[in-house]
Amino acid sequence: MGVQWDVGYIIYKRALLHPEKAAIIFEDEPVTYRALNEGANRAAHFLQKKGLKKGDRMVVLMLNCIEFLELYFGAAKLGVIFVPLNWRLVGPELEYQINDCGARMIVFHDSFLGSVDGIRPRLTVEADKFVFARSGNPGQPACPAWAVDYFESQNGRQLGEPKPDTPVEMDDPLAIVYTSGVTGNPKGAVLSHGQTFFKCFQTALYTSDSGGGDSEVMVAQMPLFHSGGLFIVATPSIFGGITLVMRRNFNPDEFAEDIQRYRATIVLALTTMWRFILATGKLDQVDVSSVHTVLGGGERTPPSLFEELAKRNLYMQQGFGQTECSAMTLMPKADIQRKMGSIGKPGFFTHVWVGDKNGKELPPGEIGDILAKGPTVMSGYWNLPEATRRTIQDGILNTGDLGYMDEEGYLYIVDRAKDMYRSGGENVYPAEVEKVIAGHPKVQNVAIIGVPDEKWGETGMAFVLPNPGQTLSKEEILEFLQGKVAKYKHPTRFEFVAELPLTATMKVKKSELKERYGARLHEK
């Protein structure tokens, strides 16, 4: 084939180098690199037959599955822009994103037939491009008359490399990934082929001390529709020749068992996921001696969590990234204890610094905007030039996070700029207080928002999720905070809850809490 440097080349090359190696073990069934590439080629030929060409948008509404990755790499080979949708969204939210990107096609799992059918007449998707796929979950409906059966359409499809109608370039869009907004509509981050290659390079360097991909097995149950699942886990693992253990959904018991079952060498889970895994007690019943790299973070992580994992010889390297610029930093393994609280140093291909409102670098210890520049930064927001200009100026991305650097160049996040509130004229960063409360032995999770207050302007409201079987009081929390953070930072209102609203990657949905309790909403 005429070589072109698109992301589809990654699976093509892996199929040449290691055709019979397991690329993915999905629900305990191995899929080789050769089979995954052939599936991507079948998907590409299907898209071409349906009339899709470079620059067209295709949305997928699917649980984790092999077909998701086949469609992703197949679209990449043609320059078709891949738009993964969060399957937790409801009809109007899906409708907005599908129409905002002007999708010509949607591929959806049987589980989401009702959601798609309810909005079908109002979508930009063309009538012959509603594509139905079977999820493998029992009790699901059959393909409706108005949709194409994806699996039946694959019968007899070509396995050879497709030829795009127009060459795909590194600067061309690969995907549009929608970010959740606190106010207004979500924004579609445009991620290019070139940016994705550099994220793969950066992620490979983060684990370069592991001895190479040939013998590596990764366990990571992130949803593929999310930037972390597709661009920090799946694409880099295939790029690196790693075998990825993947399941439809995250189950903490199964996650722990998979570490032993597949002799995992690399494990990735976000902070809340680790809490669930530890709560099961399974980590003490399985052999984790094969693991040499543990990646995690994603939100505030109390020292107690690092300590609990370290007791089991699992030393978690916390990282920092976002849809707009993934894998920005990672904590070196040797410095986990020495630099507790930091999210590490910037990666090789991303320049990260803390700046003032003009972008000028601040001295160590001073809190300011966390800024980033380099080939891992997104191209911009889809059809939102003003929002793009506010977020990226002269190639510099304002992450919307506040933090500081220490004298050795280690980055510390203070909070999201939009989560900070002012109480009695003082800035309060909820993440700082949440981290302390999360260390309480009775606390499973906590979220704090600023709410209106007649005396102080704003005050903190804490939503506390106790550990199973535990009861907590406001007084216990306040006593625990004594001497750990200044009193003006202490929440004055408390609600003890049975659950917290979580995103698909197990982060607390503060936007939902803010809307529910009248907090001041503002974008970055």
Judge whether 18 lies within some domain.
Answer: no
CB 298 within 8 A of CB 328: no
The verdict on 410 and 426 lying in the same domain is no
Whole-angstrom Cα distance, residue 37 to residue 322? 28
Q: What is the CATH number of the domain that holds 103?
A: 3.40.50.980
Range of the domain at 461: 421-517
Mean pLDDT across 360-372: 95
Distances in Å between the Cα of 432 and the Cα atoms of 98, 403, 480, 486 are 37, 11, 14, 11
The verdict on 80 and 63 lying in the same domain is yes
Beta bridge partners of 352: 372
The verdict on 411 and 448 lying in the same domain is no
The verdict on 44 and 171 lying in the same domain is yes
pLDDT digit string (tens) for 3-28?
688 999 999 999 999 999 999 999 99
Q: Taking 50 as the threshold, does the pLDDT of residue 36 lie above it?
A: yes
pLDDT at position 523? 43
The verdict on 357 and 492 lying in the same domain is no
Q: What is the CATH number of the domain that holds 404?
A: 2.30.38.10
Cα 219 to chain centroid distance, Å, stands at 15
The verdict on 425 and 412 lying in the same domain is no
The verdict on 134 and 161 lying in the same domain is yes
Whole-angstrom Cα distance, residue 397 to residue 167? 29
Instruction: Point out the domain boundary residue: 398, 417, 436.
Output: 417
What pTM was computed for the model?
A: 0.86
CB 516 within 8 A of CB 507: no
The verdict on 460 and 479 lying in the same domain is yes
Judge whether 32 lies within some domain.
Answer: yes
| H-run or E-run covering 459 | strand 457-466
Mean pLDDT across 53-72: 98
Judge whether 368 lies within some domain.
Answer: yes
Judge whether 250 lies within some domain.
Answer: no
The verdict on 157 and 33 lying in the same domain is yes
pLDDT at position 248? 93
Between these two residues, 175 and 487, which has the higher pLDDT value? 175
Judge whether 249 lies within some domain.
Answer: no
The verdict on 392 and 432 lying in the same domain is no
Tally of domains in the chain? 3
Judge whether 204 lies within some domain.
Answer: no
505: pLDDT confidence band, cut at 50, 70 and 90? low
pLDDT digit string (tens) for 186-242?
899 999 999 999 999 999 888 765 545 568 999 999 999 989 999 999 999 999 999
State the CB neighbour count (10 A cutoff) for residue 358.
7
For residue 127, give the 3-state DSSP assignment.
helix
Mean pLDDT across 293-321: 88
